[in-house]
Amino acid sequence: EVQLVQSGAEVKKPGESLKISCKGSGYSFTSYWIGWVRQMPGKGLEWMGIIYPGDSDTRYSPSFQGQVTISADKSISTAYLQWSSLKASDTAMYYCVRHSTGAFDIWGQGTMVTVSS
Amino acid sequence: QSALTQPASVSGSPGQSITISCTGTSSDVGSYNLVSWYQQHPGKAPKLMIYEVSKRPSGVSNRFSGSKSGNTASLTISGLQAEDEADYYCCSYAGSSSDYVFGTGTKVTVL
């Protein structure tokens, strides 16, 4: 079965760092781009950026450039999304997605990140 | 890159057809046949329903269809069923500077 399995929910304080993960299985992880999508509470989907695990080529939405870092470790079929200094406004559900033929065909279950003092 | 514009809500009775619009610009929807649609039930991850404007992934009901004209894409749900009640989002490729942009989302209610 093709799937993306994300790391569990996180509760952090403002200013802390965080790295969440997304492990792919059931397909060739290095052959598909992996993206990240944010969904703030009660709000819509927002495109954050994408990485090609085969060569780590990475692109960011202008809205998220400089705010987060996307990386991947192809040896363990895992992509990451990280923050160096969290803000309360980073509180959201984060989904990793597999990119195929101009769409996102596989979605992770989501990782809820709560940032609160 | 601004979000694509969708109606906030659309409703219909069981068995009816409804259409959700997704309006972008000549830089995204109008330039590429890379429009996709996603269904999201409460508390669940989104699910791909349509890709490349009008193609259905395996397993998606043929009651769902997509189209595009100019800068506006559309998702039509025919034979509306209770299980179709969900939020729907469109998404379009927007070129190498922005990559992708999502729509504002539409809540579909089955009356």
Task: Write out chain B residues lying below 8 Å of A105, CB-based.
Answer: 48, 51, 57
- Note the pLDDT tens digit of each residue in B72-82: 999 999 999 99
pLDDT at A53: 96
φ/ψ of A106, rounded to 5, equals: -125, 130
Judge whether B5 is closer than 8 Å to chain A, CB to CB.
Answer: no
* Residue contact A107–B46, C-beta within 8 A: yes
Averaged confidence pLDDT in chain B: 96
| Tokens linked to B93 | 């490729």
Band (B1; pLDDT cuts 50, 70, 90): confident
For chain B, the farthest-separated pair of C-alpha atoms sits apart, in whole angstroms, at 42
CA distances from B100 to A22, A114, B45, B85 (A): 20, 25, 18, 25
- Note the pLDDT tens digit of each residue in B63-105: 999 999 999 999 999 999 999 999 999 999 998 877 899 999 9
* Residue contact A63–B89, C-beta within 8 A: no
B68 with B83: CB under 8 angstroms? no
Task: Give the three-state DSSP class for A59.
Answer: strand
* Residue contact B101–A47, C-beta within 8 A: yes
Task: Write out chain B residues lying below 8 Å of A35, CB-based.
Answer: 100
Task: Write out chain A residues lying below 8 Å of B105, CB-based.
Answer: 44-45
Ordered DSSP codes for B32-98: -S-EEEEEE-TTS--EEEEBTTTB--TTS-TTEEEEEETTEEEEEE-S--GGG-EEEEEEEE--TTT
| Tokens linked to B32 | 């590429």
Q: Chain-centre distance of CA B20, in angstroms?
A: 7
